[in-house]
Amino acid sequence: MILHVDMDAFYASVEERDDPSLRGKPVIVGGTPEGRGVVAAANYVVRKYGVHSAMATSKALQLCPKAIVIRPRMDYYAQISSQIREILNRYTPTVEPLSLDEAFLDAAGSEQLFGSVETIGRAIKADIRKELNLVASVGVAPNKFLAKLASDMNKPDGFTVITPESVQTVLDPLPIGRIWGVGKVTNQRFEKLGVHTIGQLRALTLQQLQQEFGQHGEHFWELARGIDHRTVVSDREAKSISHETTFAEDITDIDILRAWLMELTEHVARRLRSHSLQGRTVHLKIRYSNFETYTRSKSLSAATNATNQLWPVALQLLTTALPERPLVVRLIGMGVSNLQPQTATQKTLFVEEDNEKDTRLDQVADQIRNRFGTGSLRRASSVQHNVEHKPEPPQKP
């Protein structure tokens, strides 16, 4: 059984905890309504007005003019996230973080110490409330897809268990949009087929789904049956490290995409360095508005974790390796694979000096962010385009 721990309206809940006068009021944590400010978190009061994360702040204030907008304190949230991670690691070393406020856990090996996985989930939830005065929703299920679904089902302050015997009973009545990968456009295609619920999707044959959705057909067929073969993988065990982000509104500006890609590259490079890992292959993932998805990759001559060495390759993939078509992008992702321990890198005479400069630069940047928070040092392009990344659930490798 897998656990998914998800903090309820994390950023907004932290602000309410620190300022009790905000409780009961509509609270938005995010950028200013001017320019490209977006909602990073919305408490449950303001969500009643239709406000949600990744929405433009200007639109959110149209829906709820009395909403209180608070600028994010990312460094502070990161500190609290570390405290949450410490609680999770008490119960199992197999923790796969998705972002500051959610993670998957495989606690099967800890049952002799702490009891059943359900008991462990309740203990984690209680520890977070007692020690941090924050609320987490927890899902317990046979796999990642079902565990995340479970944690979302009874928010806020939810605790939901999906047993192997109850999988279809739980899934069948749910709307088709609860399947990972079913967005607005795909949902419309299912509606044309007369499919509105997961149960109706399950009634379709694999051949029908493959004919309609190509290689994604098998993905939908498996999830409708609660099948998800992915395991929980900690950073140290991962074969690749990546981040991606989905935009609330499609992006058509190449400069904004460049800024986001730079931000993602920095996140990936920093995670590599934090685990003393390097990688040789850079990957780019782009999903267009019609859900067509392209992945491109390029291998380096030597493994690296230096931001300035990964960035030119990622940018080249963005600007030269994609098909000729209108730039209407829904999702962008960047990753690095072919990982190896940092000490295994073979230095060369001609690039050693540049590598050492990049390493020193990254070390200084990491020290600043570790001491003062992730938002303390940012690229000019990220600030200009209000880029602020929150990772999403990982996809199948």
Please tell me the predicted confidence (pLDDT) of residue 263. Answer: 83
Range among 88-97, 155-164, 334-343, 382-391 with highest mean pLDDT value: 155-164
pLDDT value at residue 394? 40
Computed over every residue of the chain, the mean pLDDT equals 83
pTM strictly above 0.95: no
Among 307-311, 349-353, 365-369, which is the least confidently predicted range? Answer: 349-353
Find where tokens 């990957």 sit: 283
Does the N-terminal peptide bond of residue 156 adopt cis geometry, omega within 30 degrees of 0? yes
Phi-psi region of 276 (alpha: psi -120 to 50; beta: other; left: phi over 0): left
What confidence category does residue 19 fall into, taking pLDDT thresholds of 50, 70 and 90?
very high
Query: Considering only 30-34, 68-72, 235-239, 335-339, which range has the smallest mean pLDDT?
Result: 235-239
Distances (CA, A) of 284 to 45, 263, 289: 37, 13, 17
Model confidence pLDDT, tens digit, residues 207-240: 999 998 888 889 999 999 999 999 898 766 667 8
Which stretches of the chain are DSSP H helices?
Answer: 10-18, 44-47, 57-63, 74-91, 111-114, 117-132, 144-153, 167-171, 184-192, 198-202, 206-213, 216-224, 254-274, 307-320, 352-372, 380-384
Query: What average pLDDT does the segment 33-56 reach?
Result: 82
Among 121, 114, 117, 120, which Cα is nearest to 136's? 121
Residue identified by tokens 């880029």 is 387
Indicate which residue of 102, 244, 263, 388 is catalytic.
102
pLDDT (0 to 100) of residue 376: 44
Q: Tell me whether residue 118 is one of the annotated catalytic residues.
A: no
Per-residue pLDDT, averaged over 22-44, amounts to 83
Cα 187 to Cα 179: distance, rounded to the nearest angstrom? 10
Helices 10-18/74-91 angle, 10° precision: 100
Centre a 10 Å sphere on the Cβ of residue 120 and count the other Cβ atoms it contains.
Answer: 25
Rounded distance between C-alpha atoms, residue 251 and residue 87, angstroms: 38
Domains in the chain, please, with CATH? 2-8+75-167 (3.30.70.270), 10-74 (3.40.1170.60), 175-224 (1.10.150.20), 236-384 (3.30.1490.100)
| Torsion angle, alpha carbons of 32, 36, 40, 43, to 10 | 60
* Interacting residues of 348 by C-beta distance below 8 A, sequence separation 6+: 302
Secondary structure (3-state) at 210 = helix
